[in-house]
């Protein structure tokens, strides 16, 4: 089953990291990527641009409106995701716990919904 791991954190944390700490943090992400690929659970994943680049779209009364920025102000922002193919939720949680941001942010794990045609 496929699980989406949504990575939430304070998006300014990376810019506040010292050079060596930032490099070590990014290396831990490269290692996670490599481990997930070797294990055959990696389906995809990417980092997102900061929330200041977001556009929120809503349709009301048949009219489309677009607003700069995220939907809501929060302490943690969605910064990226992984799509993992795991046997069950327990395995997905084990992998989510290995995502480096889990040490100080939040990883939301959600199974993908499969629709029958």
The pLDDT value recorded for residue 72 is 62
Neighbour-count burial of 86, counting CB atoms closer than 10 A to its CB (0-12 exposed, 13-18 middle, 19+ buried)? buried
Overall average pLDDT of the 54-67 stretch: 91
Q: How many helices (H) and strands (E) does the chain have?
A: 3, 6
d(CA 48, CA 50): 6
Overall average pLDDT of the 88-100 stretch: 97
Overall average pLDDT of the 67-81 stretch: 81
pTM for the predicted model, two decimal places? 0.89
Closest CA to 41 of 84, 89, 97, 87: 84
SS3 of residue 11 by DSSP: coil
The pLDDT-based confidence of 73 (bands split at 50, 70, 90) is low
The pLDDT value recorded for residue 106 is 95
Residue 98 pLDDT more than 70? Answer: yes
Overall average pLDDT of the 15-43 stretch: 96
The pLDDT value recorded for residue 58 is 87
Give Rg (Cα) of the chain: 16
Domains of the chain: 2-111 (3.30.70.1060)
């Amino acid at each position: 089953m496929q699980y989406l791991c949504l990575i939430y954190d304070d998006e300014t944390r990376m810019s506040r990291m010292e050079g060596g700490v930032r490099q070590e943090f990014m290396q831990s992400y490269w290692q996670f990527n490599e481990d997930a690929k070797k294990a055959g659970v990696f389906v995809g994943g990417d980092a997102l641009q900061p929330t200041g680049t977001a556009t929120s779209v809503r349709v009301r009364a048949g009219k489309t409106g677009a607003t700069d920025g995220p939907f809501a102000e929060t302490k943690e922002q969605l910064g990226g995701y992984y799509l993992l193919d795991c046997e069950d939720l327990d395995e997905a949680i084990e992998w989510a716990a290995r995502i480096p941001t889990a040490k100080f942010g939040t990883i939301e794990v959600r199974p993908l919904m499969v629709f029958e045609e």
